[in-house]
Chains A and B, each alone.
Chain A
Amino acid sequence: MQTRNYTTDVLIIGGGTAGTMAAIKAKEANPELQVLVLDKADIRRSGAISMGMDGLNNAVIPGKATPEEYTLEITASNDGIIDQRAVYRQASECYGIVKELDSWGVDFEKDAEGNYEVYRVHRNGKYVLPMPKASDLKLILAKQVKKMKCKVVNRVMVTRLLTQGNQVTGAIGLDVFSGELVVVQAKAVVMTAGAAGRMGLTDSGYLYSTYENPTNSGEGYAMAYHAGAELTGIECYQINPTMKDYNGPACAYVAGPFGGYTANAKGERVTGCDYWSGELIMNMWKLANKGDWPLYLKLTHLDDQTISQIESILHYNERPSRDRFHSGRGKDYRTDMVELNFSELGLCSGHSASGVLVNHEAETSMAGLYAAGDMACVPHQYLLGALTFGKISGTNASHFAQGQSHAEPDPAQIEAERARIEDILSRPDGVPHQQVEYKIRRIVTQYLMPPKTITKMEIALEKIEHFRKVDLKLLGARDAHELGRALEIHSIVDCAEMMARASLFRKESRWGFYHYFLDYPERDDENWLKRVIIRKGGDGSSELYTKELPPYILEPETEAGNSKGELKANEQSVH
């Protein structure tokens, strides 16, 4: 393998929503610094939302909602396991991001007076701000990255971080077009590498019909783990309500404000609140097990004009191929309800809570290493959280880089990664990546899926260990592209092992279906209102332990739900 080298002040790993914003803000904080963005795809269309998004799900717009209300809403939605300072910071600073996106040409829904329109999907507050025509969001962000003169190198998939003790000094990756090994020296690194979305098998049987864009295969989680960073909430899986087979979101968020809802086969409304949470998935799972299944997205009661309006959002935005999926099956929202199902399981802090442990400054447990977006644990952060924490991570990485000098990369780390990659290339006639990927995802689906049991998790660990020894040694690749897909399987295996270990460690049930553990079926706040941390120890094996939550800055809602959302008197200032 040929080697290509780069040197930069700030390295951004992944140019999705969080990564592009991090790059823009790193450069804005100090235009003298070099900022390099590496992306395994192309930043114009990469990350979670290649074609854009139809709305911001958690916009805290002054006059419509307060950061206090939002923070309490997410405290409740994530069963108390959050860093309130981080969520509060997102809520406080996201309005500035909305206005900045607006100034860059992103189209938001506004009333006659030009005020942002927001709708209620969460339990209490109104936070959903539609972007009916914002299909160009990634193109707009990519244009700003270029304008700020950040360096972008597409088609480089970062696979490992370079470290020196507890500090990160760069990264190693693969150019998935040329097949070169890429080595980067950096003074500060921001990981924005997305979710782990290729964990479970899809219901269609097509490997890549995942809920998440399948480029989001967990490299961020794996590289953070191997560098020795702390990860948390890994046992709090992501499982979403999706359109069966197509696997796009069920779209109650879009259809809800127009009068659409989740219904049973008789067309009767079955969910009171369509906000995505482990509790919603638990309710769906219980209905499925009672035989009251499938569920549907019901729009048939709406008039033609309203349905056309919903179609104009759903069919031209986040997932534009939705229309041809429906028409291929001869279905129409006017006459047919849309069958729903569960997504495959995965890891994603955008909708759930699994990620690299970060504080309200996007700092990880390692010096010089920041994380944002779907792979950083700021629960339920969605697109706007990726943008807001993208900004925070980029700004802070820029400040950190300023006081640093470059460290020489450790040759042993580079050689170890080269050996891992070249081993796969040495087997052009090895088992194709599709088959090897199917097998590990089958293990994930059959043993890691809730309801969890000690027995299932232990079988999973045994099978994963066997998979590493046998299957990964059979996996082959014939070119740089296949090599990239093969390395993604290594990430899937690492994430699967973390899921089993973190699940076994948390000896209670929490987050509805996400961590429904039959050996410990009750929520146990007395012993488990804390984080579970997993990280790679010095001897190469995983370490698991708990960590207390950062002190709350707001009193959580009581069961009666009578909280006023006031800040604790002694902690008015949160950042």
Chain B
Amino acid sequence: MSNLSTSFIPQRAEASVIIDRDKCIGCNICVQVCPMGILALDVEGKAYMKYDECWYCTPCQTDCPVDAVTVHIPYLVR
């Protein structure tokens, strides 16, 4: 799976919000609904986790129309 989202978060463990870039259509819904405002679209119009401030509440995953988002529990909470 082509996935660059983890490289945007300065930690060596995987990011808690993972976007499947092959599936992402850049519709921006996950960016809109995230309560903490931590997602953004990159230069190619794909969503990524920009800020490491996740509450693992899952609207980004639930509201994604193409199932491109997976929410993991942040490393410290796991």
Q: Which residues of A contact B (CB under 8 A)?
A: 40-42, 44-46, 50-51, 154-155, 176-177, 204-210, 213-215, 245-247, 319-321, 324-325, 328-329, 481-482, 484-485
Q: Pick the contact of B59: A50, A245, A319, A484 (CB < 8 A).
A: A50
Identity of the chain A residue whose Cβ is nearest the Cβ of B73 in the assembled complex: A325
Give the interface SS of chain B, mostly helix, strand, loop or mixed.
loop
Q: What is the interface of chain B, defined by CB distance below 8 A to chain A?
A: 32-37, 50-51, 53-59, 62-63, 71-74, 76-78
Are A321 and B53 in touch, CB under 8 angstroms? no
- Point out the residue from B53, B59, B63, B76 that lies within 8 Å of A205, measured CB to CB: B76
B71 neighbours in A (Cβ, 8 Å): 321, 324
Q: With a CB–CB cut-off of 8 A, which chain B residues contact A329?
A: 78
Inter-chain CA distance A324–B34, complex, in Å, is 19
Distance in angstroms from A554 CB to nearest chain B CB is 39
* Chain B residue contacts of A206, Cβ below 8 A: 74, 76-77
Docked pose: A500 CA to B33 CA in angstroms: 35
Contact A209 B55 (CB under 8 A): yes
Would you call A325 and B37 a contact (CB within 8 A)? Answer: no
Residues of chain A lying within 8 A (CB to CB) of residue B59? 44-45, 50-51
Closest B residue to A16 by beta carbon equals: B35
* Contact status B35-A213, CB under 8 Å: yes
B35 touches A208 (CB 8 A): no
Choice from A154, A324, A482 contacting B73 with Cβ under 8 Å: A324
Q: Known interface pairs A50-B59, A321-B57. Does A214 touch B76 (Cβ–Cβ under 8 Å)?
A: no
Known A51-B59, A214-B53, A485-B53; judge A209-B36 contact (CB<8 A): no
B53 to chain A, nearest CB (A): 5
Q: A44-B63, A246-B77, A324-B73 are in contact. List 10 more A-B contacts (CB 8 A).
A: A40-B37, A41-B37, A44-B32, A45-B59, A51-B58, A177-B37, A208-B54, A215-B35, A245-B77, A324-B72
Contact B77 A320 (CB under 8 A): no
Of A40, A155, A205, A208, most buried by chain B (CB within 10 Å of CB) is A208
Q: Is B55 within 8 A of A176, CB to CB?
A: no
Q: Is the CB of B62 within 8 A of A51?
A: yes
Residue from A154, A177, A213, A482 in contact with B55 in the complex, judged by beta carbons closer than 8 Å: A213
Which residues of chain A have C-beta atoms less than 8 A from B63's C-beta? Answer: 44-45
Establish whether residues A204 and B37, one from each chain, have CB atoms under 8 Å apart when the complex forms: no
Give Cα A325–Cα B33 distance, bound, in whole angstroms.
22
CB pair A321 B56 closer than 8 Å: yes
Report chain A residues within 8 Å CB of B37: 40-41, 155, 176-177, 481, 484
Candidates B50, B53, B57; contact of A50 at CB < 8 Å: B57
Candidate in B35, B55, B56, B76 with the most chain A CB atoms within 10 angstroms: B35
Output the least CB separation between A215 and chain B (Å): 5
- The answer on a CB contact under 8 Å between B73 and A42 is no
* 5 closest residue pairs by CB, A with B: A206-B76, A45-B59, A41-B35, A321-B56, A45-B33
Q: Are A209 and B33 in contact (CB under 8 A)?
A: no
Can you identify 10 A-B contacts, CB atoms within 8 angstroms? A44-B33, A44-B59, A155-B37, A204-B76, A208-B36, A213-B57, A214-B53, A319-B57, A324-B73, A482-B51
A154 and B53: CB pair below 8 A? no
